[in-house]
Amino acid sequence: MSVEKDPSGRRSVQFEFEIPGTPEEVWQAIATGPGISSWMVPAEFEERDGKPVAVKLNFGPGMESTSAVTVWEPPHKWAAQFDGGVPGSPSLANEWSVEARGGGTCIVRIVQSLFASTDDWDNQLESAALAWHGFLRALRIYLTHFRGQCSTIMQFVVPVPGTEAEAWDALTAAVGVKGLSVGQRFTAPAGVPGFSGVAEHVTQSPYDILLRLDKPGPGVAALGAFDCGQVMVALNFYLYGDQAAETAARETPQWQAWFQERFPTPAEPGKSD
């Protein structure tokens, strides 16, 4: 994905997805805390005088971000700017827009941009854009199959040694999805907390699998591996329906124990048991 540059120093990437739903339904999913939490990461909007002024996203332990809302035009456009990234990095801005199309669908367009005098941060834009594609595929599944349902997220993100490729091999082998193809049914093997479903998306660049679940309940499971200065593996469960919170409360301790056994927290340098 190429980075566009203009004379002001603004660098940006732009991409779009066709998503089922009316503009109002899509807006509810991309511009509210409960909506974003149903397909991305736990999200919360801060309001002042009834209008959003900031959005907080939690990508995992130590990976929280708060962005100032700079544009708010429901149900068509909103934008936010994040200034708290890597020390010395330029601020990062995201602009979302929703455009109605025929057949009960909308185009969701995201423009992600930053201002910089060199190419040093272009890879940050490109990597973020690839991650967005995975999240937006989860959004499409949510609005296609679970639109308007209550949701609860189970989020597991842990650091692992080695490269992204090695982390991905370890995660997919441990969960039992290595070699899975789109459309193929999946049931977790013995030793893994019970879950099953159908593969909706599989890619190796970035490392990403999306499963539409029927067990432990209706939902989506998103598996990934990424490098944010530390290589991480991630498994998010987005559970839907009236029983979602109860299911998450029951299943979370099992998955926490499983991750601790299979991917124990690495010892800090210079420390040992």
From CA 259, how far away is CA 225, in angstroms rounded? 14
Residues in a beta bridge with 239: 152, 219
Mean pLDDT by 10 residues, the chain (273 residues): 76 91 96 96 95 93 89 97 73 93 94 79 72 89 94 94 93 94 95 96 86 97 89 95 97 96 74 53
Residues in a beta bridge with 154: 237
From CA 75, how far away is CA 216, in angstroms rounded? 34
Tell me if 4-145 shares its fold with 151-262.
Answer: yes
**Tell me, what's the pLDDT at 38?**
96
Identify each DSSP E strand in 51-150 by its residue range.
Answer: 51-58, 64-73, 77-82, 92-101, 105-115
What residues does each domain of the chain span? 4-145, 151-262
CA-wise closest residue to 213 among 192, 254, 185, 172: 185
Could you tell me how far CA 84 lies from the centroid of its own chain?
19
pTM score? 0.89
From CA 130, how far away is CA 139, in angstroms rounded? 15
Q: Is the peptide bond before 218 cis (omega within 30 degrees of 0)?
A: no
Q: Under CATH, domain 4-145 is a member of which superfamily?
A: START domain (3.30.530.20)
From CA 8, how far away is CA 5, in angstroms rounded? 8
**Tell me, what's the pLDDT at 4?**
83
**Tell me, what's the pLDDT at 85?**
62
Domain 151-262 belongs to what topology? Alpha-D-Glucose-1,6-Bisphosphate; Chain A, domain 4 (3.30.530)
